[in-house]
Structure 1
Amino acid sequence: MVLWTVVALAVVVAGAGTALYLWADGRLRSTEAFGEYPGRPKAGRGTDWLLIGSDSRATLTPEQRRELHVGSNEVRSTDTLMIVHEGDHGTTTVSLPRDSYVAIPGHGRGKINSAFALGGPKLLTRTVEQATGLRLDHFAEVDFLGFVDVVDALGGVRVRVPAGGLRDERSGAGFAAGCQEMDGVQALAYVRARYSDPEGDLGRVRRQRQLVSAVAEKAASPSVALDPWRALPFLSASLDAVTVDRRAGVRDLARLARGLRDAAGDERRAVTVPVGSEPRVPGAGDVVVWDRRRAGELFAALREDRPIPTSDLK
């Protein structure tokens, strides 16, 4: 979900005037997302972002928790993780399944999304850097309620639900096959569903990428981008939803817009980290284990700013 919010925010800001840009830049929230540590990867070529959707319930009322089907667990973890690489060959997005089983510094091995709960943005970025060998340059986070507000401010999105439809009691998804108009609550349910999906977390990753195009297209449409009565509320909701690292600004987000839109519709540049197996681990449950060789080739290509190996497009 975070990717579409950042795309949409960037699309509107990219076309904004100087006064609106300065206002937006001043409202953007930031956090300390990086720290130096022994063995940190060296900087590669290009720019790498870590974009996450967090599932914190701390600011939600009991009514909102019921409506969003998120439960009452106060543990703060990540529901979506993506690396976005900007380089000479365009922009590439790499989805990291939240159940990826990796080393978490100081905590042994566990699901990658738990790093956020254990140590916030700093531990999560360190975990991703050590798992991928990439030195991250920027970080952006969107939370549950912020995401819902953004989609609603946009006026909803139109999504084609695959044959067979999608139903998931735990996320609240209940969609028939075919094109559907979704508001913020419905879009969140659609993107979070995984328990009724035979592909589990990997199926959810595909739906996230599907929605990138829908949200980016709606945000870039003249009915939104050129109408201040729609663009300003949408921009305000987006700024309230997004938190970035200390060095990032609205100008950095705006630079993502064109590349992210292109990557969303190009299967050669919107991929998931290669997976080797999905075993069940005592104490962790079902996990996703990366294919070490193919994942290594993928991240090496990003680090050196080379085209992704064709084996990673399958």
Structure 2
Amino acid sequence: MSSRAAGPDDARAIPQRGASGDPDDAGEVYTVDVRGRRRTGSRPAGGAGRGGAGRDGVAAAAARPAAGGRRPAPPVDGDWEDDAPRRRRRVPVVRLVLLLVAAWLAFMVYTPISAWNSVHKEDTTPAGQRPAAGKGYNYLLVGSDSREGLTKAQKKAYSTGNAVGRRTDSIILVHTSQSGGKPVLISIPRDSYVPIPGHGSNKINAAFAFGGPKLLVETVEKVTDLRIDGYVEIGFAGFAGVVDSVGGVNICVPFHMNDKKAGINLQKGCQLLDGRNALGYVRARYSDPRGDIGRAERQRQFLGAIMKKAATPSTVLVPTRYWDFTHAAARGLIVGDDTSMRDASRVLLAMRAVSQDQGLSLVVPIQSLNYQTSAGSSVKWNTARARALFADLREDKPLETPPAGTDGKPSAG
């Protein structure tokens, strides 16, 4: 008989009391205690130990009937299985998921950088003395009628004509706050009668015709006393391409618009517009009873709608659509040499805030829409209210509600 103490790997027969409660009862049964044994990938087939109760002993004990003729339950197959292969299978799956997530994040970062690198840059910094930098950021967002990048078929489809060069179709001052105020988009009617450095007084879009973006920026700085921190311009090709890249944009058309010059015949009501109709919608002037003011309002409406569509999961989470949107936006885009990608992102975020009713969409305060000048019928600003608005922006005063007179309606007060 071996004098070795039983170890944790030894099977022990544990007596169980019979029906009479006496351990000597003839009904005594034995069960095999295999607790403490390590599981292996297969049933034990050999080994040695006390009384043959090694690996073979366990099997023998399990197979040996108890004194009462009752056989203990054999070990379940699963008790002997090894979980290691299953764990090894799970590890590659987790790694694959992490790899895919990392690749997707890299794509999300690389895509806008790639698009930004293709943007055309131009010197838009005015000459001479400029206003001091304010406490927030001010950007000039310009929509031009440039046909550059459009094919002959597209010019026909979009009803743009074949004019060369570029002129301003919209001028929007974008203010983003550093003090927690709402972002602000302020339309400057292109017929606004203002002094243009070196050219007397004229409609503000003449500044663009006389000296391009540089003179337009200088003119806006002179009449607002706001330093312009960046310049962003998008042409016809950019408008249409961006809309088509996201599968159309939802616009609520305020009234029936049949405008042959803009190439549209739109019914009143909310609808999905493709690139051609969206471009006509923001260009239309003669079918709108409010003329340039109505068009400026529709342009701000469109900018908010396109950013709302661009921010949806159907655009951002689909790689091909996300790529198409960013690169379509880059085509036909012109930015100032001193305009950074961060500046452009502030403009886009301001447009997005307006689309979600978290920003303000305004028009520079107006006194008259039919002010007679040497340049013809023009738009005259309400000087007092305009100065007050620009002073608030210069001081980055948080604006939560539209200031008086910024609804596009003429007012003398």
Give the TM-score taking structure 2 as reference length. 0.68
C-alpha deviation, 1:153, in angstroms: 1.2
- Corresponding position: 1:310 with 2:403: yes
**1:156 equivalenced with 2:253 (yes/no):** no
The answer on 1:243 being equivalent to 2:330 is no
- State the distance in 1 between where 2:244 and 2:125 align: 32
1:141 aligns with 2:242: no
2:353 touches 2:359 (CA, 8 Å); kept in 1?
A: no
1:59 is displaced (CA, Å) by 5.0
Q: Could you tell me whether the CA contact under 8 Å between 1:83 and 1:93 is conserved in 2? A: yes
Per-residue Cα deviation, 1:255-305 (whole angstroms, up to 9, x for no partner): 344333223444972100011002253653321111101111111110111
Letter in 2 for 1:161: V
Question: Which of 321, 326, 344 is the equivalent residue of 1:230?
Answer: 321
Q: Hey, what does 1:293 align to over in structure 2? A: 384
Cross-structure match for 2:364 = 273
Structure 1 or 2, whichever has the larger Rg, is 2
Change (3 A) 1:16 1:48: farther
Is 1:192–1:204's contact at 8 Å kept on the other side of the alignment? yes
Question: RMSD of the TM alignment (CA)?
Answer: 2.2
Report SS of the residue matched to 2:170.
strand
Cα distance, 1:210 vs structure 2: 1.7
CA displacement at 1:29 relative to structure 2: 2.4
Is 1:218 the counterpart of 2:309? The answer is yes
Q: Percent identity?
A: 42
The 3 A distance-change label for structure 1 pair 66 and 133 is same
| Equivalent in the alignment of 1:71 | 161
Name the CA shift for 1:22/1:168 in 2 (closer, same or farther; >3 Å).
Answer: closer
Quote the residue 1:41 is aligned against. Answer: 131
> Alpha-carbon deviations, 1:5-26, whole Å to 9, x = none?
xxxxxxxxx9963333442342
What is the TM-score of this pair, normalised by structure 1?
Answer: 0.88
Post-superposition shift, 1:165? 1.5
| Contact preservation (8 Å) 2:238, 2:331 | yes
CA distance in 2, matches of 1:252, 1:93: 15
Aligned residues: 299
Unaligned runs of 5+ in 1: 1-13
Q: Would you tell me which structure has more helix in proportion to its own residues?
A: 1
TM superposition shift of 1:247 = 2.2
Q: Which runs of 5+ in 2 are unaligned?
A: 1-104, 408-413
Which residue of 2 is the match for residue 6 of structure 1?
none
Other-structure match for 1:10: none
What's the secondary structure of 1:81's corresponding residue?
Answer: strand
Q: Per-residue CA shift, 1:165-201, capped at 9, x if unaligned? A: 2222221221111122211110010111111211100
- Summarize the Cα distance change of 1:79–1:185 in structure 2 as closer, same or farther, 3 Å threshold: same
- Which residue of 1 is the match for residue 123 of structure 2? 32
Q: What is the 5 A alignment of 1:8-27?
A: 17-27=108-118
Q: 1:171 matched to which residue of 2?
A: 262
Whose RCO is larger (CA < 8 A, sep 6+)?
1
User: What is the match of residue 185 of structure 2?
Assistant: 93
In structure 1, the residue matched to 2:207 is 115
CA contact (8 A) 1:166 1:175 kept: yes
SS of 2:202's equivalent in the other structure is strand
Structure 2 partner of 1:209:
300
Paired residue secondary structure (1:278): strand
Aligned residue number for residue 3 of structure 2: none
Structure 1: distance between partners of 2:192 and 2:341: 30
SS at match of 1:17: helix
